[in-house]
A and B are shown apart, each in its own frame.
Chain A
Amino acid sequence: MSRIVKWVRAHLVVLAGVLALAYLVLPNLVVLAFSFNKPNGKFNYEWNEFSTDAWTDPCGVADMCGSLSLSLQIAVLATIGATVLGTMVAFALARYRFRGRGGATGLIFLPMAMPEVVMAASLGTLFLNMRIPFGFTTILIAHVMFCLSFVVTAVKARVMSMDPRLEQAAQDLYATPVQTFLKVTLPLAAPGIAAGALLSFALSFDDFIITQFNSGPTTVTFPMFVWGASQRGIPVQVNVIGTAMFLAAVVLTVVGQWVGNRRKAQA
């Protein structure tokens, strides 16, 4: 008995950590399990019967796959926009000292320190007052706006940790500024840019609050579809998509780390 108590005391932190991890992963497991459910009624909250119907017919629900593809389109475009604009800002802030730099840094920080609902309501009010119709464009504008700061933060950290002597060496070897940028600077900054882009994609794809205030009644993204379904009745296919997204994210991260490790081993 005392040996068990001793072991528990020695591993208390790890045990607490494992419990915390279980708390984080539990809902994903529930989503996975209930993707094989055949619910008794419109809502998929209680276990009824095992079935693979949802997995064999993921698009069998009206409008769901359409909303999924709309979300993907918006996420891709928002990621491109935010990554290009954010990378430029990050280079300016990391590489130059100029008047107004502090103000620019503050402006970049502010959207990250603001609850989403505040940004959502204020941007929505602007669109309403300007009589700009809500839809695809207004969602895209909003998504680029809130993803931008995250890209700047990711890229800036990377650019600041880069050794400037590498670029000086390229110039000493008669590389033109454009060649230096394309062959030295950009590949060095790439991990930061990739991290920023990945974060943008995830934030945009999953955004609900800002989208709800800026989408209008007819443009339904995937999170908007799930929200609507949570009031009317949730098809099992929602769980299939949720599980597939989780698995895709895990596979992508594992592959990304594997590639990263191989690159490091080669270098």
Chain B
Amino acid sequence: MTATAEAAPTQVIPLQDRPPRRRLTPYWLLLPGLAWLVVFFVVPMVYQASTSLQTGSLEQGFQLTWHFSTYWDALSEYKWHFVRSFGFSAIATLLCLAIGYPLAYTIAFKASKRWRNVILILVIAPFFTSFLIRTLAWKTILSDSGPVVETLNALHLLSLTDAIGLTTGQRLLATPLAVICGLTYNFLPFMILPLYTSLERIDPRLHEAAGDLYARPFTTFRKVTFPISLPGVVAGTLLTFIPASGDYINAQLLGSPSEQMIGNAIQKQFLNVLDYPTAAALSFILMALILGMVTVYMRKAGTEELV
């Protein structure tokens, strides 16, 4: 994402050409901000790793005993939470891409300048409205006697989703489908904005050129538009998938106990059970899995397809 910004003119003075006092300037500028991140981000991460290997209780205190079995216990108890987290988030990310791409495309190529701004404001404005209030609104929209459930029932679609396990008992609330719908809704702007940024840069003359060379509209999209927009697709999928996989709000408000995700488990262990070693181990596993997946994904998307 920053690669394009780097190409812009910058004033770079090689270190050795500067007077010695000015050589320290960047370090002074960095110091307060980076110190904040080290103390309140890096140190807690390290501390958490150590907490996950401790045993004890809140009354007697915790001691570092290199108790690795916390990890095995946590994994075996919460393996389905991990599976659901990554499964729901993956489906939500794909849905965001499927829903967000046409909208980003419309804003970038189809809308007039005036409409473009109006739509962009409507995409961004939810950012400034409470996340929780909007998620609660889905409870109304998906409620058992609401128009959505009635329409889907009339079309016999709920029997279909019941059959594949996405819903149960002819209702939407407290089902996996409701949680996925909430996740998709909540993280959709994070998909649309990077997609729009990468689509907006495309020179419309490329489309004309493809048309002149007898490419059909779909071929133009497949061979020209989509490959150029890949950086936006990669950024958007990461910005959607990462926060979605750690989320517990949608599962709590729209799901039932059997839709709980790993975020719910961490929250429960930390705030209710007060079992800090288990909470630390779970969030450490979550972090490691996500960093691993992101690395593999960026390598795949970055070197093989982007170049």
Interface on A for B, CB 8 Å cutoff?
13-14, 16-21, 23-28, 30-31, 34, 45-46, 85-86, 88-89, 91-98, 101, 104, 107-108, 110-111, 113-119, 121-126, 128-129, 141-142, 144-145, 148-149, 152, 156-157, 160-165, 167-168, 202, 205-206, 208-209, 212-213, 222-223, 226-227, 230, 234, 238-239, 241-242, 245-246, 248-250, 252-254, 257
Supposing A20-B103, A223-B130, A257-B117 touch, asked if A212 and B122 sit within 8 A by C-beta, the answer is no
A145:B143 contact, CB within 8 angstroms: no
A213:B129 contact, CB within 8 angstroms: no
A145:B37 contact, CB within 8 angstroms: yes
Q: Does B105 contact A (CB under 8 A)?
A: yes
Supposing A24-B188, A45-B140, A46-B140 touch, asked if A249 and B129 sit within 8 A by C-beta, the answer is yes
Q: List 23 A-B contacts (CB under 8 A).
A: A13-B110, A23-B185, A23-B188, A27-B185, A28-B137, A31-B134, A98-B26, A98-B27, A121-B279, A122-B47, A122-B280, A125-B51, A125-B276, A129-B51, A152-B33, A164-B10, A208-B132, A213-B267, A223-B132, A238-B133, A245-B129, A245-B130, A250-B121
Contact partner of A113 among B12, B276, B294, CB < 8 A?
B294
B29:A230 contact, CB within 8 angstroms: no
Within 8 A of A (CB), among B56-114: 62, 99-100, 102-103, 105-107, 110
B102:A13 contact, CB within 8 angstroms: yes
Residues of A within 8 A of B243 (CB): 115-116
A208:B131 contact, CB within 8 angstroms: yes
A209:B137 contact, CB within 8 angstroms: no
CB distance from A237 to the nearest CB of B (A): 11
A148 to B270, CA, bound (A): 25
Residues of B within 8 A of A257 (CB): 117, 121
Residues of A within 8 A of B284 (CB): 118
A212:B14 contact, CB within 8 angstroms: no
Residues of A within 8 A of B27 (CB): 92, 98
* Highest count of chain A CB atoms <10 Å: which of B2, B99, B125, B238: B125
Residues of B within 8 A of A164 (CB): 9-11
B283:A111 contact, CB within 8 angstroms: no
B271:A128 contact, CB within 8 angstroms: no
Q: Does B48 contact A (CB under 8 A)?
A: yes
A209 to B34, CA, bound (A): 23
CB distance from B272 to the nearest CB of A (A): 12
A222:B130 contact, CB within 8 angstroms: yes
CB distance from B230 to the nearest CB of A (A): 19
A225 to B125, CA, bound (A): 22
Supposing A121-B283, A230-B136 touch, asked if A212 and B271 sit within 8 A by C-beta, the answer is yes
Residues of A within 8 A of B123 (CB): 21, 24
Residues of B within 8 A of A241 (CB): 130, 133
The SS class assigned to the B binding surface is helix
A104:B5 contact, CB within 8 angstroms: no
A129:B47 contact, CB within 8 angstroms: yes
Q: Does B198 contact A (CB under 8 A)?
A: no
B128:A246 contact, CB within 8 angstroms: yes
B267:A117 contact, CB within 8 angstroms: yes
Q: Does B228 contact A (CB under 8 A)?
A: no
Residues of A within 8 A of B140 (CB): 30, 34, 45-46
Q: Which are the 6 A-B pairs with shortest beta-carbon distances?
A: A115-B246, A17-B106, A164-B11, A249-B128, A16-B102, A92-B29
Residues of B within 8 A of A96 (CB): 12-13, 25-26
Name the CB-closest residue of A to B248.
A117
A223 to B249, CA, bound (A): 11
Within 8 A of A (CB), among B129-154: 129-141, 143, 145
A178 to B90, CA, bound (A): 51
A115:B36 contact, CB within 8 angstroms: no
Contact partner of B133 among A18, A94, A242, CB < 8 A?
A242
B14:A97 contact, CB within 8 angstroms: yes
Q: Does B8 contact A (CB under 8 A)?
A: yes
Additional 4 contacts, C-beta under 8 A, given A107-B42, A117-B247, A141-B40? A85-B33, A113-B291, A145-B37, A246-B125
A27 to B28, CA, bound (A): 46
Name the CB-closest residue of A to B287.
A118
